[in-house]
Amino acid sequence: MIDEGRWFGVNKGIDYERKYGLKPRDEVFYEMYDLCGGEVFFRYYVSTGFVQTLDYYLEFEEELKNICLSIKDFDEQFSYDMYILPLFRNKKLKELGI
């Protein structure tokens, strides 16, 4: 059984509607979502570098982009504890000067 908020998935898709004040174009994006609730908590548009995320994850934007880009199997489930929690731990250690 999957505990709520402890597992996430990554999707790769194409947004045909996205416009940035330019002509419409196909935009490849990656998104991270909670497997239990389905809530998307991070979306990264590749060609423009545009990121949509919850405020909670803003400071880890680069790290989350790297996780998305490193994924090869989009049917796989990923552990929140293994990928996301270490980002918060490292931030706290830096704040403490350790």
The answer to whether residue 1 sits within a structural domain is no
The answer to whether residue 2 sits within a structural domain is no
Distance CA 54, CA 42 (A): 7
Q: Going residue by residue through the chain, which has 98 residues, state the pLDDT in tens, using 9 for 90 and above.
A: 344 458 999 999 887 765 555 555 667 899 999 998 889 999 999 888 899 998 889 999 999 999 999 998 888 999 999 999 999 998 888 888 87
User: Given this model, what pLDDT does residue 1 score?
Assistant: 36
Q: How many domains does the chain have?
A: 1
Range of the domain at 87: 7-96
User: Given this model, what pLDDT does residue 64 score?
Assistant: 94
